Amino acid sequence: MVQLSVTLILLTALLGCAGHADPITDETYLLGTVIRVSIHDEGYKDSLIETVFERVAEIEARMSTSEDDYETTELLSVNRAAPDERTRVSPDTFEVLQSALEYSALSGGSFDVTIWPLVRLWKIGSGGTSVPPQEEIERARSLVDYTGLKLHSDGTVSLAREGMGVDVGAIAKGYAADEAARILSEAGVEHALLDFGGNILVIGAKPDNSPWRIGVQRPDAERSRYIGIVRTADRTVVTSGPYERFFEEDGVRYHHILNPKTGYPSRNGLEQVTIIAERSIDADALSTTCYVLGLEGALKLIEEFPDAEAVIVTETQEVYLTSGVERHTSAANRAATGGATDAEETEWADGAVVTTFELTDDEYRIVE
């Protein structure tokens, strides 16, 4: 997952002292992406963010399946073990596998924690540049089967068949963000923003008690262009889409979210899925799951989770929102699409989290 983990010293030297209004911010490279932590309370030191980074590095060193970056990790050991051989893993890894297995079962295998043979074959985002031979795709696909992963009550795990393997790339970032937030909250932090490569987690509201504004990226555009804005507090906002890691061959884009049933990158009319939830491990798992499930399955699944909401974008630039997200359409967008009528700012009641989505890009429309 990672090549270098050099801390990029930003403005921390200037901002690190207590008693000022600016946040303390630091970032580093971990989990295959830039992760940034900003504490918006006064009186905290940079060393708290260092502690967070050390914890995330520990999670990475346990759960990475990158043979380029690590000689061994707990999950590489699991993947290299003989069939039914039990490998002891840390409580961290056990918990992530357990959760990943639950999402695998819940989605009937659209999300599959044993996706590793396909991930390793395609190598999308880690050097893969062409479509593998069909028979190799078939072979790898036949080894993807979450029912072959066993989690034993003594804290060990095993896989049923030679060549099987687990990969937690779809969920580990979420777990790491939750752990980071736990460390900050336990240290007394009440207002913070964590950005793990676009997976956002916010602690509390902003210091002035207004909601955080979190941009939902426009799928086909460069970073920092948004189709809309989520306003929320004490939540995590996680997006899965085909533009993070991919290669192109013969004009076709092959991206990193694979459909275990076909062995190919998932393609079902969805452009991206954003999940808003309380726990980042759930949001991370659900965004990947929903992306593979497709529109109908995704909407149905999210309505079963009282603590999760979704903003789903189709290839035809339609935006679907689940029932717990209040809709807003900017005036410009209303004029352009003839769409929804009400763009009033939601009152931010004390203590109550009201999650809203405001569409800001005229080329998209919210489907009611």
Nearer to ligand AMP, 25 or 104 (CB): 104
Of 284 and 309, which CB lies nearer to Mg ion in the complex structure? 284
Rank residues 44 and 146 by Cβ distance to ligand AMP and give the closer one: 146
Q: Which does 314 bind (CB under 5 to 8 A by kind): ligand AMP, Mg ion, none?
A: none
Assess 93 for contact with Mg ion (CB under 5 A): no
- CA distance linking residue 154 with residue 205, whole number of Å: 40
Phi and psi (nearest 5°) for 265?
-55, 140
Q: Which is nearer to Mg ion, 289 or 322 (CB)?
A: 289
C-alpha to C-alpha distance for 122 and 268, rounded to whole angstroms: 19
Local structure of residue 147 (DSSP, 8 states)? G
- The amino acid present at 28, given as its one-letter code, is T
Burial of 285 (0-12, 13-18, 19+ CB in 10 A): buried
At closest approach, how far in Å is the CB of 126 from ligand AMP?
9
Q: Give the residue nearest to Mg ion (CB).
A: 288
Smallest distance from Mg ion to CB 105, Å:
17
Residues 212 and 221: their CA atoms lie apart, in Å, by 23
Beta carbon of residue 84, minimum distance to ligand AMP (angstroms, whole number): 23
Can you tell me the distance from the alpha carbon of 311 to that of 355, in angstroms, rounded to the nearest whole number?
11
> Per-residue string for binding with Mg ion, 161-190, x by CB under 5 A?
---------x--------------------
Of residues 288 and 355, the one with the C-beta less far from ligand AMP: 288
Going along the chain, which residue ranges are E strands?
24-30, 33-39, 87-88, 149-151, 156-159, 192-196, 199-203, 212-217, 226-232, 236-240, 246-249, 252-255, 270-277, 309-314, 318-321, 326-329, 356-359, 365-367
Comparing CB distances to ligand AMP, the nearer of 25 and 107 is 107
**Residues near ligand AMP (CB under 6 A):** 111-112, 115, 119, 167, 169-170, 240, 244, 256-258, 260, 284, 287-288, 292
Write down the H helix ranges in 246-367. Answer: 280-293, 295-303, 331-337
What is the nearest approach in angstroms of ligand AMP to the Cβ of residue 16?
32
User: CA torsion angle for 329, 334, 338, 344 (degrees, to 10)?
Assistant: 60
Q: 115 contacts which partner out of ligand AMP, Mg ion, none, CB within 5 to 8 A by kind?
A: ligand AMP
Please state, as a whole number, how many other Cβ atoms lie within 10 Å of the Cβ of residue 108: 13
Strand, coil or helix: what is 54? helix
Candidates 296, 326, 318, 321; CA nearest to 310 is 321
User: Residue 145 binds which one of Mg ion, ligand AMP, none, with CB within 5 to 8 A depending on kind?
Assistant: none
Q: Count of residues binding Mg ion (CB under 5 A)?
A: 4
Cβ 281 to Mg ion shortest distance, Å: 9
Beta carbon nearer to ligand AMP, 23 or 165: 165
- Is 284 near Mg ion (CB under 5 A)? yes
Least CB distance from residue 357 to ligand AMP, whole Å?
20
* Residue 257 found at the interface with Mg ion (CB under 5 A): no
Q: Which residue lies nearer to Mg ion by CB, 24 or 170?
A: 170
Shortest Å, Cβ 174 to ligand AMP: 8
CA quadruple 185, 91, 310, 193: dihedral positive or negative? positive
Given 288, 314, 329, 360, the residue binding Mg ion (CB under 5 A): 288
Q: Within 13 A of 254's CA, how many CA atoms are on the CB side?
A: 20
Positions in the binding site for Mg ion (CB under 5 A)? 170, 284, 287-288
